[in-house]
Amino acid sequence: MKPAFWDSSALVPFCARQKASPNTHRLLGQYSVVVWWTTPVEVRSALETLLRTGDLSAAEHAGAERRLDRLRKGWSELAPTEALRDEAEMLLARFPLSAADALQLAAAMQWTGGHPRGQVFICGDARLLEAARRLGFQAVEA
């Protein structure tokens, strides 16, 4: 299976079985998962928010956490480095991104060795997808 970089916004709908889940299921069948070091924290944060707002029941939340744990067992995770942080800072000057999104995109750039052409970036956030597209990734909406 070809690897792809997955932003946390693409994984939350799969874990929580939200609207985009059928597309995410298809993409998980096509691409292995490569993520940034903070992705588990970001996904769990989103799941806790969905639970607090009543968009997930306690049982649905428990199922979402089990799906996340299963995903984690098979994914590749990029660790933080000074070079990655420097790249994220440069991306902030170039694109209208949040700090977390800049770090996600910097991790994807690190994964490609700075050569994103032909590499897949899967995301559910339009602004981050556009930045990835402009860098040369094959940006895929989750």
Please spell the DSSP secondary structure of 40-84, one letter per residue.
Answer: HHHHHHHHHHHHHTTSS-HHHHHHHHHHHHHHHHH-EEEPP-HHH
0.75 cut: is pTM over it?
Answer: yes
Element (H, E) at 90: helix 82-94
Which has the higher per-residue pLDDT, 22 or 31?
31
Measured CA distances, 88 to 66, 98, 103, 132 (Å) = 31, 10, 5, 13
pLDDT of residue 20: 58
Mean pLDDT of the chain: 94
Nearest-angstrom CA–CA distance, 6 and 32: 9
Domains of the chain: 1-142 (3.40.50.1010)
| Residue 112 pLDDT exceeds 80 | yes
| Residue 91 pLDDT exceeds 90 | yes
pLDDT of residue 45: 97
